[in-house]
Amino acid sequence: MGAWEQTVLGEVRVTFVGTGSTGDPRRRCGTTLLTLADGSHLLVDTGGGNETLIALERAQVDLTRLRAIVLTHQHLDHAAGLPFVLFSLAMAAVRGKSVGEVHVCVPAGARDGLRAMCDTLFPGMQNPWWLAGRAKWHGCDPADYLWRIELRDDGTAEVVADVASRAGQALGEGVVAAIETMAVSHGAPPVPAQAVRIETRRADGSACRIVISGDTGPNAGMGRFAAGADLLIHEAVEAEALGAHPVFVPGTGHVTAAMAGRIAAMARPKRLALHHLNAATGQRPEVVRDEAATHFEGEVVVPDDMDVLVV
């Protein structure tokens, strides 16, 4: 039995491991775990430290079934947990557990720096005795609109060169999931950043599309990128909180909940989940939800840490 042929759960689940942001000490930083129908996992962002590992252990998530880590960008609340996740995989491998390839998909412009961060924080972590080459680093360069990698049921993966021919198409035979990224603008000063789209199938064969904005300023492309999503997870800032906290103006690469609602109105996902809230600046989940719902007629949820949605 291969590493990825274990218990078939059948459903696709999203666990909101963290729903907060840098400035909010009361919630974990924005981290999302996707559990595919075959029971393997994808992690989008890693939080700011070891809190993601603690939360996942409490939720009894088997990290050795992690197939990919996608970082939307290098900011500390999204990327600083990466060395902890990789280190725990290295420890599992050293203890003789079966650890397959883990595809670390980061914006191309941040790849060398993030890899150096991991090597600096624990020299040797990625050497042949530890991760033994299992961590496959990818600099996602969506120069041609999209970057795409396909994860196969035999544990292998392929970066797709001709994205245009596959984007939006049904998954091919043996493909468990496709991860696509699109560049977005974020940060002052700007940092390389990407939104993430995951295409997969439920056990009944039906297609399932989940889109995560990452941190992003207003982006006209998001409406198209998220079109037809079963779940759109978008960052949002309470508009009422903006005036008192000028760091969260759209020019720094964030959007208000109202803007997220307008993007959802274009994309028409089945459900819109808003996260990256900052309670320290007085952002209230119910206000964020209502601001988005003014523009988007569909279901809007504002999950709390460790909430789970079946998609």
CB of 280 to Zn ion, least distance (A): 15
CB of 249 to Zn ion, least distance (A): 14
Site string for Zn ion, 27-66 (x = CB under 5 A): ----------------------------------------
Judged by CB under 5 A, the stretch of 38-46, 67-75, 236-244, 256-264 that binds Zn ion is 67-75
Q: How many residues bind Zn ion (CB under 5 A)?
A: 2
Judged by CB under 5 A, the stretch of 48-56, 169-177, 210-218, 275-283 that binds Zn ion is 210-218
275 binds Zn ion (CB under 5 A): no
Chain residues 87-146 in contact with Zn ion, contact rule CB under 5 A: none
254 binds Zn ion (CB under 5 A): no
DSSP 237: B
Kindly tell me the number of DSSP H helices and DSSP E strands found in the chain: 9, 15
Three-state secondary-structure class, residue 110: helix
CB of 186 to Zn ion, least distance (A): 6
215 binds Zn ion (CB under 5 A): yes
Q: Which is nearer to Zn ion, 48 or 83 (CB)?
A: 48
- H-helix segments, the chain: 51-58, 76-79, 82-94, 111-121, 163-166, 221-225, 239-242, 257-267, 285-293
Q: Which is nearer to Zn ion, 41 or 75 (CB)?
A: 75
Q: Which is nearer to Zn ion, 75 or 138 (CB)?
A: 75
Among 27, 28, 75, 234, binds Zn ion (CB under 5 A): 75
In 3D space, the residue among 17, 23, 16 whose CA is nearest the CA of residue 282 turns out to be: 23
* Residue 158 phi, psi dihedral angles, 5° rounding: -135, 125
Chain residues 278-297 in contact with Zn ion, contact rule CB under 5 A: none
Element (H, E) at 18: strand 13-18
Q: Which is nearer to Zn ion, 6 or 252 (CB)?
A: 252
- Cα separation of 215 and 163, whole Å? 23
Q: C-alpha dihedral over 163, 200, 151, 168, to 10 degrees?
A: -10
Q: Give the DSSP letter string of 168-206.
A: TSPPPTTEEEEEEEEEEEETTTTEEEEEEEEEEE-TTS-
Judged by CB under 5 A, the stretch of 43-51, 128-136, 211-219, 266-274 that binds Zn ion is 211-219
CB 258 within 8 A of CB 252: no
CB 166 within 8 A of CB 144: no
CB of 250 to Zn ion, least distance (A): 13
Q: Which is nearer to Zn ion, 35 or 74 (CB)?
A: 74
Contacting residues toward Zn ion, per CB under 5 A: 75, 215
